[in-house]
Structure 1
Amino acid sequence: MPPERPNPRWDQSPSSVISECEQTARTSDYEHITTPVLIIGAGAAGVRTAIELAEHGIEPLVIGKRDHGDAHTTWAAGGINAALGSHDPDDDWRIHAADTLQEGHFINDPVAVEVVTEAMPERLRELAEWGMPFDRTNGGRIDQRYFGAQSFRRTAFVGDRTGKALLDTLIERAKSLHIPYRENVLVTELISDGNRVYGAIAIDVETGQFLLFETAHVVLAAGGCSALYGRHSSRDDENTADGPALAYRAGADLLDLEFVQFHPTGMVGDRYGETWDGRLVTEAVRGEGGRLYNSHGERFMKRYSPVQLELDARDVVARAIATEIDEGRGTDNGGVYLDISHQDTAFIRERLPRMFERFQSLGVDISEQPIEVAPTAHYSMGGVDIDWTTGRTAIDGLFAVGETAAGLHGANRLGGNSLAETVVVGQIVGSHIAAHGVGESTMPDGVLADAERTMSALVSFVESDGNVHPSALIADLRRVMDEHAGIFRDERTLQQGLEMVNDIADRTTTLRFTGGLTSEAFELAIDLSYMLTVAEGVLRGALKRKESRGAHFRTDFPETRKVWQKNILSAHANTGSTLWCREPGRPSSAIESAIDEGYELEYHHLE
């Protein structure tokens, strides 16, 4: 379990928004569903957890906000890391671990790093056995490409649609095991007494029916919080902080929230249209030799990173691009140029088919023309604090996997490690639950009564008579986060941002709804409650960390400070958020040896 922590009293209100509505004596009708394990989230991490449970004879229930197979995993395009040595036989999992720790600026959980990197070769071969159609070398081995800040070619791939291929493979495996799945389910709250979790309250978004899930184990696989920002790589209705907020309000701790990764290359809306603004241009474009140029035609990464160039760490490249734009060397549309046209057309179409087709549909032939890109909020290194040998949180029965969990990535995520994380920790959690037995899922009468009151409060909330649509407050929140918690931060702008977030929270008393529990407005209001909870945590963590480290850059504290080589945790007390710190621990001697050996990417292989 995670280390001992402060012991506040837990606020059991349904959410920061819903707590404002008047409680009523009504008890809403609901469907009562019992399952041994409830998995909230149907992306790669959730499905891999379910597969492991099913293979041990336990039938979990997987629930998702959208149609089956429509998960954020599909947008992870470039690849998945494992030290296979397909091209570089000197690579091994220790060096993968060393790269991960260095990219995370040594505040990663060293147990998490070792667990994931050591397990990944086996997990990758397992995926191949299940039918994942990896690109192959001429000799038949799983092919691997360069990704930023990696010492060797370690990123396995399926063209530039690796995430979709991964999820399709896992879903087919899950179907073969007859794992039950329920789609279009919006979870509004976990049922918890602050010590253990008993289930979840949800809405069937198609019928408006309340659902009460009773279970011995809840696994949160509901993604991260990059959609807190206006310019982000997710679709607007995903990565809205559901997982971390649900865990936090149930009594679990959050870790490293100040670290939000801005991917260097997102599409520029002024060039490609509002629908595409911020959407990811995979790192595989740079991994296959793509080069960055400013409006003066200068390959500017030579100034910022003369050795690793475009394949330096994501935070380095993102800050470089942002600086070029801020100092007037960007394009008229507010970006820089990413150019891979020096590669053969056949090579581009084979290695980057999704990118080629996307831009072709927008009138751009990337084999002949550069594309315009700018940084975009992409991934949250922060999330729920877990024990990486089991996936457990500090709340009995509550687990977190995938981007909902924190600890592996530290201050900045190594590209290709997100998909790796999903299949490793999913297997660990499923195996742990199976080994220890699912136990009974008996919900105490008092806890059940509280859950029923929460459902009644939700009905009153929807019937409230306000004049502000939730989408307006979400737009305001995203503007605040863009302007006050972006790539460059300082005390004044962060403090202003925190005050503005609190003002938006106050304005939730004026929300307006039409269409009841099945309405888009209701779903957006729930999203808003999650987003406000975690946005405050991001800003508070960024204010507390008075240094620059990885994805967190303070212009008023531009240096990395040894005294801040520690993690910031957030606990939910009845008086508000409580922040505290702990040391991340030391890597094993095997990993420290790999760090000392000083491996580094040799970019000239791409030239």
Structure 2
Amino acid sequence: MERHAYDVVVVGAGGAGLRAAIAAHDAGARTAVVCKSLLGKAHTVMAEGGIAAAMGNRWPEDNWEVHFRDTMRGGKMLNNWRMAQLHAQEAPERVMELEDWGALFDRTEDGLISQRDFGGHKYARLAHVGDRTGLEMIRTLQQRVVQLGIDVFMECTVTDLLLAGDRADLAGDRAESRSIAGAFGYWRETGRFILFEAPSVILATGGIGKSFKVTSNSWEYTGDGHALALRAGASLINMEFVQFHPTGMVWPPSVKGLLVTESVRGDGGILKNSEGRRFMFDYIPDFFRAETADTEEEADRWYDDKKNNRRPPELLPRDEVARAINSEIKAGRGSPHGGIYLDIASRRDPEFIRKRLPSMYHQFKELADVDITAEPMEIGPTCHYVMGGVEVDPDTELSGVTGLYAVGECSGGMHGSNRLGGNSLSDLLVFGRRAGEAAASYAAGQGSRPVVDEADVKAAERSALAPFDVEGGENPYTIQQDLQQTMNDLVGIIRTASELEESLTAIEGLKKRARSMVVEGHRQYNPGWHLALDLRNMLLVSEAIARAALAREESRGGHTRDDYPKPDPDWGTKNLVVRLDDTGSGVTLTEQPLPVMPDELKSYFEE
């Protein structure tokens, strides 16, 4: 078996993983990046609209305090306040750093980095590169990683985290007595095993979207980091909050769920139902009434001069817009293919659209034969982002397991119950850097390296090869299809207790079926085997989402209960924490009070 020794191993090569690797390397740690796909193919490229940072290039009044307030209000105050504070304070510097490394941002008339409007942000604060910002960010960070000579292991999947220390108990408080010793995985091409020995591991594996039938997420998003952390003894937080992006493609079926960037609405696009009516004015919550335009004329003036700064309702936070679209579709006012219409053609001239939204223009032209400069797009909500993830220390991103860090979408706390558009990319940069520095510092402070137990290595090998030992079992693709249908139908954008209970029963049945999964052939080039291993993670994380959604008896952010349609003040004071249960195959829930915000930060919400 192939073996490597590093100080810091980063699992995932998206924006968070690459920024963490750069920071760890710059701090003097011998660093490696391990990714399921090819370098440069991370899902970060799908974050097209921009990087949220209060740079004040469009609105000098903008500052970190306003960005902090917008983030907390967007998350319905369930955010970890310290993470939201650090994010708002440090995002501008991280954007300037990207530019120093070669990122080519669009410019204002004065030559500054251009910033565009996005949902939930009071001011235009998204630094952008057309509608391909995530791609430019990955290109820049990838180039930096290569320039620094950081080792990258591409098309390599991590299946287990290996621990050193007391082996007494596999659940409960084991994290307090055990620390990271390394990571075990395999090469996707050959199936050969690989072991990384390291005192620090940073999880940057992204989200969970492939558990849902309609999603904007790429194939890698199978909840690997969430499940790896759970099995190592860490806890997850906010798992009930899944963001359904308001605008995904609905036609043709081959691209259903593919993301339509919020930039379309930020640059003037409006939402219409099948009757041709601009319906979002009917869905403005009281919480945002003072900052949202009440009439079409007022909204149009905002796009033209923005002097009154009362945003169009299309730029409400994503959870509000997604619920409004869902309501219109359920009321029978949807488009022929089950969505609604997003119209920028009647609002902006073709040259403006092609310049500001080149990716969207080509995406619809090539995949749907729709010219967005001349006709509206058919769009609908798509599973896009999970606010929940590994519970971490806000300053260092350290989980409950010594030596294990988590950043990006697989970490939790920063976004509360709903993420604002654009905050994802700045989240990756801010906390990627912090995690890399903290992981390198911890590794440097170890007098002796933790030792990998060879019995754990053999157990990881047996677990990975188990699907080959089954005879007459079930195809993993059938189980995945049933899981996606279950999550789509019973744990989707609108939830009820009976359906959530039904989903948990279904997931238990799927877990039982998964124990007898069988894969044909051998370990080389075997996608069925890859899926069989991914399914273990998907089923565990899906149970965490459904169980937390059943427990939270209110509607807040990305969690909407039809049987509890309003927010509950009591639920607004606590988070739900998920841990592995005593069997090691399921999860348990506990309630945890929110961290207490300092009085000086509370003052930003008094108005």
Residue-by-residue CA offset, 1:78-112 (whole Å, 9 max, x unaligned): 11100011111111001100000000011100011
Q: Which residue of 1 aligns with 2:315?
A: 311
Q: Which residue of 2 aligns with 1:469?
A: 475
Paired AA for residue 555 in structure 1: D
Q: Confirm or deny that 1:583 pairs with 2:586.
A: no
**1:83 pairs with 24, 48, 54, which one?**
54
Q: Which residue of 1 aligns with 2:412?
A: 406
Q: Which residue of 2 aligns with 1:226?
A: 209
Q: Distance in 1 between matches of 2:473 and 2:86?
A: 50
Aligned to 2:394, the other structure's residue is in SS state coil
Q: Distance in 1 between matches of 2:541 and 2:369?
A: 38
Q: Confirm or deny that 1:299 pairs with 2:278.
A: yes
Distance 1:337 1:156, change over 3 A: same
**What TM-score comes out, normalization by structure 1 length?**
0.91
Residue-by-residue CA offset, 1:438-495 (whole Å, 9 max, x unaligned): 33674546x3212212203433432321342111111100100011111111100000
Give how far 1:436 is off.
4.0
Give how far 1:595 is off.
2.3
Q: Confirm or deny that 1:110 pairs with 2:110.
A: no
Give how far 1:515 is off.
2.7
Q: Which residue of 2 aligns with 1:248?
A: 230
Q: Which residue of 2 aligns with 1:351?
A: 356
Q: Distance in 1 between matches of 2:517 and 2:436?
A: 40
Distance 1:208 1:95, change over 3 A: same
Give how far 1:512 is off.
2.2
Where do 5+ consecutive residues of structure 2 fail to align?
168-173, 285-291, 294-311
Give how far 1:573 is off.
2.7
Q: Distance in 1 between matches of 2:426 and 2:330?
A: 35
**1:569 pairs with 573, 577, 581, which one?**
577
Distance 1:152 1:516, change over 3 A: same
Give how far 1:374 is off.
0.5
Q: Which residue of 1 aligns with 2:126?
A: 155
Q: Distance in 2 between matches of 1:47 and 1:259?
A: 26
- Residues 47 and 170 of structure 1 are in contact (CA less than 8 Å); yes or no, is this contact kept in structure 2? yes
Paired AA for residue 188 in structure 2: V
Aligned to 1:516, the other structure's residue is in SS state coil
Aligned to 1:141, the other structure's residue is in SS state coil
Q: Distance in 2 between matches of 1:460 and 1:243?
A: 21
Q: Confirm or deny that 1:481 pairs with 2:476.
A: no
Paired AA for residue 471 in structure 1: Y
- Residues 97 and 591 of structure 1 are in contact (CA less than 8 Å); yes or no, is this contact kept in structure 2? no
Q: Which residue of 2 aligns with 1:601?
A: none
Give how far 1:567 is off.
0.5
Q: Distance in 2 between matches of 1:387 and 1:145?
A: 31
- Residues 216 and 440 of structure 1 are in contact (CA less than 8 Å); yes or no, is this contact kept in structure 2? no
- Residues 7 and 440 of structure 2 are in contact (CA less than 8 Å); yes or no, is this contact kept in structure 1? no
Paired AA for residue 94 in structure 2: R
Give how far 1:349 is off.
1.0
Aligned to 2:606, the other structure's residue is in SS state helix
Aligned to 2:225, the other structure's residue is in SS state helix
Give how far 1:586 is off.
3.3
Residue-by-residue CA offset, 1:223-264 (whole Å, 9 max, x unaligned): 1112211000012x2211011011001100000100000000
Give how far 1:590 is off.
4.0
Aligned to 2:361, the other structure's residue is in SS state helix
Q: Which residue of 1 aligns with 2:157?
A: 186
- Residues 266 and 373 of structure 1 are in contact (CA less than 8 Å); yes or no, is this contact kept in structure 2? yes
Distance 1:589 1:355, change over 3 A: same
- Residues 467 and 529 of structure 2 are in contact (CA less than 8 Å); yes or no, is this contact kept in structure 1? no
1:525-564 to 2 correspondences below 5 Å: 525-564=532-571
1:126-205 to 2 correspondences below 5 Å: 126-192=97-163, 194=174, 195-205=178-188
Q: Distance in 1 between matches of 2:436 and 2:389?
A: 20
Q: Confirm or deny that 1:286 pairs with 2:265.
A: yes
Residue-by-residue CA offset, 1:189-220 (whole Å, 9 max, x unaligned): 11125421211110111111111111111100
- Residues 159 and 352 of structure 1 are in contact (CA less than 8 Å); yes or no, is this contact kept in structure 2? yes
Q: Distance in 1 between matches of 2:49 and 2:448?
A: 41
Q: Which residue of 1 aligns with 2:308?
A: none
Q: Distance in 2 between matches of 1:467 and 1:456?
A: 18
Aligned to 2:190, the other structure's residue is in SS state coil
Q: Which residue of 2 aligns with 1:16?
A: none
Aligned identity (percent) is 41
**What TM-score comes out, normalization by structure 2 length?**
0.91
